[in-house]
Amino acid sequence: MGKEKYYRILFVIAGVYDLFLGAVFCFFYKWLYENVLLRPLPEPPIYFQVCAAFIAMIGIGYFLVWKNLYRNVDLVKIGAGMKLVYILGALWYSTYATVPLALLIFGVLDVAFIIVFIEFLRYAKVSGKIPA
């Protein structure tokens, strides 16, 4: 498999992952809090829902990257930044509270995504395919 096909598959997976995760957390937050996170519901839930919607939107951004890898390279940088913010937030929160296992798993997956996003960004830069 060529590099470009590999990266296209990567961004489809990232798009499905974030779009699905964001939509589930946005619309099914009550069930998730009660059954998976085992935490009290946030009040009001709008803050949580808006954050989840942003995750879904970056998932859509990854589909744009899939459609045109090099024109949408800046979306990869924004997505990696969002994932880094999540990881740092989870680490900070874990210094004084117990983080639900599900949220830690998402953090580990985000580390893996950041690694391959950096790999893609380096490939795109070295190959000279990023538009000016």
pLDDT at 80: 95
pLDDT at 109: 94
The proportion of the chain whose per-residue pLDDT surpasses 90, expressed as a percent, equals 56
Please provide the size of the chain in residues.
132
pLDDT at 41: 84
| First-residue to last-residue Cα distance in the chain | 28
Judge whether residue 7 has pLDDT over 80: yes
Judge whether residue 131 has pLDDT over 70: no
Judge whether residue 130 has pLDDT over 80: no
For the chain, the structural domain boundaries read 3-126
In terms of DSSP H, where are the helices of the chain?
3-27, 29-32, 46-67, 73-94, 101-126
pLDDT tens string 37-96 = 788 888 888 888 999 999 999 999 999 999 999 989 999 999 999 999 999 988 888 888
Judge whether residue 125 has pLDDT over 70: yes
Q: How far is residue 108's CA from residue 27's CA, in Å, rounded to a whole number? A: 23
Residue keyed to tokens 């990257």: 65
Judge whether residue 35 has pLDDT over 90: no
Q: How confident is the model at residue 132 (pLDDT cuts 50, 70, 90)?
A: low
